[in-house]
Amino acid sequence: MPLRPALATAACAALLLLVAAPSAPADSSAPAPEETVTVDSKGLMAADGTVTLSGTYRCVDSVGPVYVSSSIGQRSETVRYAIGGTEAVCDGKLHRWENESRPSPTTLKHGRADVEAAVVELHPVGILPLPRFHALLKQEVTLKKA
């Protein structure tokens, strides 16, 4: 068989294999379905401005240290305040988490707020750890008096 027709046949065969092959997930670092994080519907805010957020999490298969982080915002989509970080255990079991911080006594008010919670692993890649998200959630909560 001459060289050009053989190359064309091989290229077509390779193209057919690529088209017929099942596609890989777009993001292999996406959280597994059994990995979750929840946020309790009520957060607490003390008189001095200290905010306490809590919920549950479940994660599996970690190599590096894992934390449950949370942030809160009110009246602005772009301004958020970090509310602590709790060390997590990724053993596949359901665990409670609670984070506490005081952004400022006058920053947040009682009432509706948006909370973002994440279970994040500092996954070792080479000499620098890179974040690997095990679970993410954005939810509205109500800040109540502590």
Q: What is the pLDDT of residues 51-107, one digit of tens each?
A: 999 999 999 999 999 999 999 999 887 889 999 999 999 999 999 999 999 987 678
User: What percent of the chain is modeled with pLDDT above 90?
Assistant: 66
pTM above 0.85, yes or no: no
Helix (H, G, I), strand (E, B) or coil at 98: strand
Which residues face 132 on adjacent strands? 121
Rounded distance, CA 48 to CA 28, Å?
43
Cα torsion through 79, 51, 56, 36, rounded to 10: 0
Asked whether 55 and 39 are in contact (CB, 8 A), the reply is yes
Structure tokens belonging to residue 5: 């027709």
Radius of gyration of the chain (CA): 23
Write down the pLDDT at residue 3. 37
